[in-house]
A and B are shown apart, each in its own frame.
Chain A
Amino acid sequence: KAGVTQTPRYLIKTRGQQVTLSCSPISGHRSVSWYQQTPGQGLQFLFEYFSETQRNKGNFPGRFSGRQFSNSRSEMNVSTLELGDSALYLCASSFGGPTASSYEQYFGPGTRLTVT
């Protein structure tokens, strides 16, 4: 079974631009969660989507948004990029269930975003 895939793997953007990251979950998984990882803050939860609906949200500004399609693929968008948005963005998929933590989460390799 193919794992979680994320595209692109690396991205360089300038301040003020916007970016869209993509995540394809494991076949059959309906939950997709997004995380930001930085050396200073560690892993931080952005949001979780289940059956095309945002089910949980972390403490990030509205510049960070996402969506999920009917095939469970998910996209994350960051508008008006800031230098501090430079990070590894990880997505994780799971079967779903009552909450995102009900089942095992499988992480993708991440997208390394650099904002200059």
Chain B
Amino acid sequence: GQSLEQPSEVTAVEGAIVQINCTYQTSGFYGLSWYQQHDGGAPTFLSYNALDGLEETGRFSSFLSRSDSYGYLLLQELQMKDSASYFCAVREDSNYQLIWGAGTKLIIKP
């Protein structure tokens, strides 16, 4: 079956670096996305990786290894405003659907 696995909760200290992992098992693969959702808010897009390697956007980076069915989101110089839930999602084929992980709640301590 289709599944995405990510940790349910991660705790880190302000100013530190944190990595949120995602492993997936899907029948096909077009790309891996990451979304951020603050409590009470809507999910917002962070990144999309279709090819292996690291993509950097400011303090956030996303990595993909298709051979390992694995990716991660790296957050650097953590700020209190980064406290949120982070979801990985796989685009499995050429249609419009995404398969979602259950989300990782990131708790940042001062």
- Are A and B subunits of one complex? no
